[in-house]
């Protein structure tokens, strides 16, 4: 047995113990992807019609950990008549003195569906780490030239409830295509519907130490195997 107190422990028992230590250390330092905050399960109250002049933004605040942003799902749809030259805007901004702060990343996405808003996955075009306890803004709008009757619809919730460790805050709006912004002052802001998807929390130094321990254990196991 591997738990015997004999002076000369069999090499396969040593190997098993090194393997167990490595697996436990590596598992302790890893976490699954998660939803930081979401209100997609909330019923829709209505939707805002975003144009080349009227843009909207929804704020969210992180919890006490840093997170790598994976994607944001937003409930979006377009009018049935839209021009081929329409450009949809999806951006992540920091919070700033003018409500909306500096641009952090843009998002890529597939074709926008016409009709009622549906969940669209927005993928960041560059890596973004969301800092702990910090507010960010998802900005949505459009640019177009020839067809001014076209709009992008963004669904907003019938209530303020959300799930996840983060939180949703006020929404913002711009009447000049994102040049200047104002924040909502409603008691019930009815946030735009979205879900912020993040990777595991940014490792703390103690987590990095656990990872290093796991790697060292695996290396030691390989050395034991070669000496047999």
Name, in order, each residue with C-beta under 8 angstroms of 212's C-beta and a sequence gap of 6 or more.
none
Q: Token match 């028992």: residue?
A: 13
Beta-strand runs (E) in 44-151 = 44-50, 55-61, 67-78, 87-96, 99-108, 118-124, 129-130, 135-143
- pLDDT value of position 145: 58
pLDDT band at 17 (very low <50, low <70, confident <90, very high): very low
Q: Which residue has the higher pLDDT, 98 or 82?
A: 98
pLDDT value at 36 more than 90: yes
Instruction: Compute the mean pLDDT over every residue in the chain, rounded to the nearest whole number.
Output: 80
Over the stretch 160-182, which tens digit does the pLDDT of each residue have? 999 999 999 999 999 999 999 99
Q: Buried b / exposed e across 18-29, counting CB within 10 Å, b at 16+?
A: beebbeebbeeb
- pLDDT value of position 202: 57
What values do phi and psi take at 166, rounded to 5? -85, -170
Residue pair 60/104 in contact by the 8 Å Cβ criterion:
no
């Amino acid at each position: 047995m591997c738990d015997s107190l004999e002076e000369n422990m069999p090499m396969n028992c040593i190997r098993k113990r090194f393997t167990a230590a490595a697996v436990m250390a590596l598992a302790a330092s890893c976490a699954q992807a998660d939803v930081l905050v979401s209100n997609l399960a909330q019923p829709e109250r209505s939707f805002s019609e975003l144009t080349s002049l009227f843009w909207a933004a929804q704020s969210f605040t992180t919890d006490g950990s840093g997170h790598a942003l994976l994607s944001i799902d937003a409930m979006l749809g377009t009018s049935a008549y839209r021009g081929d030259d329409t450009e949809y805007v999806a951006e992540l901004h920091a919070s700033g003195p003018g409500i909306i702060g500096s641009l952090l990343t843009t998002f890529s996405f597939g074709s926008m569906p016409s009709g009622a808003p549906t969940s669209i996955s927005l993928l960041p075009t560059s890596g973004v780490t969301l800092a702990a306890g910090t507010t960010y803004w998802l900005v949505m709008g459009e640019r177009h030239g020839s067809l001014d009757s076209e709009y992008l619809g963004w669904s907003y919730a019938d209530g303020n409830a959300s799930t996840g460790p983060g939180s949703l805050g006020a929404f913002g709006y711009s009447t000049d295509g994102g040049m200047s912004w104002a924040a909502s002052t409603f008691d019930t802001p009815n946030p735009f519907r979205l879900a912020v998807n993040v990777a595991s929390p940014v490792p703390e130094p103690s987590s990095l130490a656990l990872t290093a321990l796991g790697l060292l254990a695996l290396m030691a196991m390989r050395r034991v195997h070669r000496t047999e």
